[in-house]
Amino acid sequence: MRNEHWMFDDAMNERIRSTHVPDGRVVDVTPVLLVTRNVLSHIIPNINLSMNGHIDASDDQTNLSAVDGAHDALHKICCELSCMCSRGGDAHATTMAIFNMLSSYSWGAKVVLTLAAFAVNFGEFWLIAQLCTSNSLAKSVALLKQPDILEHSQTLKSHFDALSKLINAMVDVTKCIVELTELPSKYISIDEQPFSTAMAHIHTATYWIISSVVACTRQITGLIGFPISTSEAWELSSLAHKVSSIHEHLQSRLRLCYARIDEKKLMEAFEHFKRTIETPQVDNLMVLQNIFGKEKNLLNPDRAEAYINVLRRKHVLLLISDLDISQEEIRVLEDVYKERGSSGLNYEIIWLPIVDRTTWNNGYQEKFSTLQSIMSWYTVSHHVAIEPAVIKYIREEWGFVKKPIAVTLNPQGKVLSPNALNMMWIWGNSAFPFSSEKEESFWKAEPWTLDLLVGRVEPNLPTWVSQQKVVCFYGGVKMEWIESFTTATKGVANALDIGIEMVYVGKKNARERVKKITGLIKEKELSHAWEDDNVWFFWNLLESMLYSKTQHGKTIENDVINQEVMTMLGYDSSKNGWAVFYTGSGEMVKANGEKVLSTMESFGQWEKLAKQMGFIPALRKKLEGVIDNHHCTRLILPGNGGRIPERVQCAECGRPMKLDFLYSCFAD
């Protein structure tokens, strides 16, 4: 630490410390500081005496009779200060005399009692100065005790500003010392940084407070009888500078101490919540109460207040998101939620918004209220309802980062799944009770078909399949490629005399561009095209399948569905288009835009093969012979708390893919 101008050498430090011989007595300095605050605030109205909730407004009825030894110590200090002024004693000697007088007290008690003694002397002086012109008793006392006060009353203002600055600085440092000495040892020890650094200088800070009290007392005496010299005026200014510097140092240490204490309290609450949620409970109420802490009320689907007990012994889904949860996600979840009644399922959803409290403003409040208004399930009553330790658990244990998750609690409060949204998107309410075991059993019985992917989005698929048509789903955002591809593909279908239906499924995270292209496709009658909600659901479903599979340890090497999903997501992450062809017999073939377009445009080379083998087998054989002149594809996935695998194989060539980090804005 740099050598501050208020620090002493080792010899002086040792001399001050040698006067500190505490005898174990505990003095509650808070009531003394309360009264001292009231005295000084009457004299200096703008004095700052708030102290992190420890010092509150007083009604002047504080009882000091129970403060052990306070009155006796106050009287002795007052006498020492008065004697020093009357005999013109050395300020340092007086300061050390007060140190010796208070040797058995704590550092906090030393500064508070000394400041209180000063307040007594200053208060007496100020009362007489204020009342001597209107109160005969005060005037008589002034004539006896302060004979020059009337003569010099007009000169008080010229010295009062300098005095006020020093007194304010003294009070600030006193508060810091008291707060430091009262920090809970349960959460921070004397040997621990930053507390140890602060405490290493507390004796120096105490010296300068007592020395400043001596200087201020001398200044007050000078105001009523002894002209203040230039050197004494400079001394006050120098002291104010020193004490202010000490305050800055201690205040910075104190902030770090409180941050460390808050960190340990947070960890303690985190471990408590972890034990609670991982310990079998009679019902889910204990877990829910721990999530909301002191907040016991929620807003029900009708936006009326509801006590948290209404969720007791019910299946509960904790919908966790920030304020950027999309309206599409809310609408799709709402469809599943509303269907639960007709399915005879008894579960509820609570929205838990994860927000930054430090940056909260009116804009966030408006966004929060808007989201509340469109949700048809339970929500928190205000944005700070969730305990910070629970937010820490949500991030670290349940892996929440940005993408919404839904944690499933059974009626006993046991976590059935750290994220049920994936299975809700894929299977809806048939996946109830949305447990990891139910999810795994579904995947064991689920073959890879296009119906799994688009069955809930394309209602015409069963009809097209029954008509033995070839169905082509394609995507991308290059209009030139779309026109060329659809035209060439329809030409191939006409040449082979087969029925074909083409559906444009857009691109992930490109709403405005997709909307524009969809309009052009419909205007030119190139193919069918999905609306916004279906486009969003399709790509979200693909990601949900990937995350769901990954949660159960499936990789592209050992799982067919994972291979197909990653291939589709990889196509979408590229700059070009892509296409998937499908028939009711289960035949399927897919390719990226460049390969499939060049293959369609060179149909004359494989027309004969297509008439012999059939369209899809011939197309597959032809595509296998097309060699890419560049890397196969890339795969862009939203981060979700490390839930996606670090090692991914290319879905086309099988080689390991390079892992990069991409930060993208949510703007379209």
Query: What is the SS3 assignment for 63-129?
Result: CCCCCCCHHHHHHHHHHHHHHHHHHCCCHHHHHHHHHHHCCCCCHHHHHHHHHHHHHHHHHHHHHHH
Rg over CA atoms, the chain = 39
Buried b / exposed e across 112-136, counting CB within 10 Å, b at 16+? Answer: bbbbbbbbbbbbbbbbbbeebeeee
- Nearest Cα to 232, choosing from 217, 215, 212? 215
Share of the chain above pLDDT 90, in %: 39
* Residue 44: per-residue pLDDT: 77
Phi, psi of 2 (to 5 degrees): -65, 155
Does pLDDT of 283 surpass 50? Answer: yes
Q: What proportions of the chain, in percent to the nearest 5, are helix, strand and coil?
A: 55, 10, 35
Does pLDDT of 87 surpass 70? Answer: no
* Residue 411: per-residue pLDDT: 95
Average per-residue pLDDT for the chain: 82
* Residue 154: per-residue pLDDT: 53
Instruction: Classify residue 642 as exposed, middle or buried by CB count within 10 Å of its CB (0-12, 13-18, 19+).
Output: exposed
Does pLDDT of 505 surpass 50? Answer: yes
Does pLDDT of 49 surpass 50? Answer: no
* Residue 273: per-residue pLDDT: 94
- C-alpha span between 169 and 177 (Å, rounded): 12
Does pLDDT of 295 surpass 80? Answer: no
Give the DSSP letter of residue 314: S
* Residue 224: per-residue pLDDT: 56
Domains of the chain by residue range: 10-51+67-265, 284-445, 450-657
* Residue 455: per-residue pLDDT: 80
Cβ neighbours of residue 640 under 8 Å, at least 6 residues apart? 399, 401, 402, 403, 405, 547
Q: How many CB atoms lie within 10 A of CB 87?
A: 9
- C-alpha span between 140 and 521 (Å, rounded): 102
User: Which is more confidently placed, 648 or 121?
Assistant: 121
- Nearest Cα to 455, choosing from 427, 497, 434? 427
Coil, helix or strand for 272? helix
| Predicted structure pTM score | 0.77
Hey, what are 35's tokens? 């009264």
Query: What is the secondary structure of 9-71 as a DSSP string?
Result: -HHHHHHHHHT----S----HHHHHHHHHHHHHHHSTT-----TTSS----S----TTSTTHH
* Residue 200: per-residue pLDDT: 80
* Residue 64: per-residue pLDDT: 56
Share of the chain above pLDDT 70, in %: 82
- C-alpha span between 112 and 108 (Å, rounded): 6
- C-alpha span between 109 and 412 (Å, rounded): 52
Does pLDDT of 33 surpass 80? Answer: yes
Phi, psi of 458 (to 5 degrees): -115, 100
Query: What is the secondary structure of 410-431 as a DSSP string?
Result: -TTS-EEES--HHHHHHHGGGG
Does pLDDT of 544 surpass 70? Answer: yes
Does pLDDT of 249 surpass 60? Answer: yes
Hey, what are 476's tokens? 């991308």
Does pLDDT of 21 surpass 80? Answer: yes
* Residue 663: per-residue pLDDT: 47
Q: Give the lowest-confidence range in 43-52, 132-141, 269-278.
A: 43-52
Does pLDDT of 71 surpass 60? Answer: yes
Coil, helix or strand for 493? helix
Find residue 299's DSSP bridge partners.
305, 379
Cβ neighbours of residue 206 under 8 Å, at least 6 residues apart? 16, 99, 107, 110, 111, 177
- C-alpha span between 469 and 464 (Å, rounded): 6
pLDDT band at 433 (very low <50, low <70, confident <90, very high): very high
User: Which is more confidently placed, 624 or 233?
Assistant: 624
pLDDT band at 523 (very low <50, low <70, confident <90, very high): very high
Q: How many CB atoms lie within 10 A of CB 613?
A: 14
Coil, helix or strand for 482? helix
- C-alpha span between 506 and 517 (Å, rounded): 8
* Residue 279: per-residue pLDDT: 92
Q: Over the stretch 321-357, which tens digit does the pLDDT of each residue have?
A: 999 999 889 999 999 999 988 888 889 999 999 999 8
* Residue 55: per-residue pLDDT: 38
* Residue 145: per-residue pLDDT: 67
Residue entry with tokens 């030139």: 480
Does pLDDT of 39 surpass 80? Answer: yes
* Residue 237: per-residue pLDDT: 80
* Residue 122: per-residue pLDDT: 86
- Separation in Å, CA 88 to CA 214, 274, 636: 11, 66, 81
Q: Over the stretch 551-604, which tens digit does the pLDDT of each residue have?
A: 766 655 566 777 778 888 888 877 778 999 988 777 888 888 889 999 999 999
Instruction: Name residue 216's amino acid.
Output: C
Give yes or no for a contact between 111 and 174, defined as CB atoms under 8 angstroms apart: yes
CA-CA-CA-CA torsion sign (388, 390, 394, 397): positive
User: Which is more confidently placed, 4 or 216?
Assistant: 216
Q: Over the stretch 457-490, which tens digit does the pLDDT of each residue have?
A: 888 998 998 999 999 999 999 999 999 999 999 9
Hey, what are 126's tokens? 């100020």
Fold of 284-445: Glutaredoxin (3.40.30)
- Nearest Cα to 319, choosing from 270, 272, 376? 376
Does pLDDT of 508 surpass 90? Answer: no
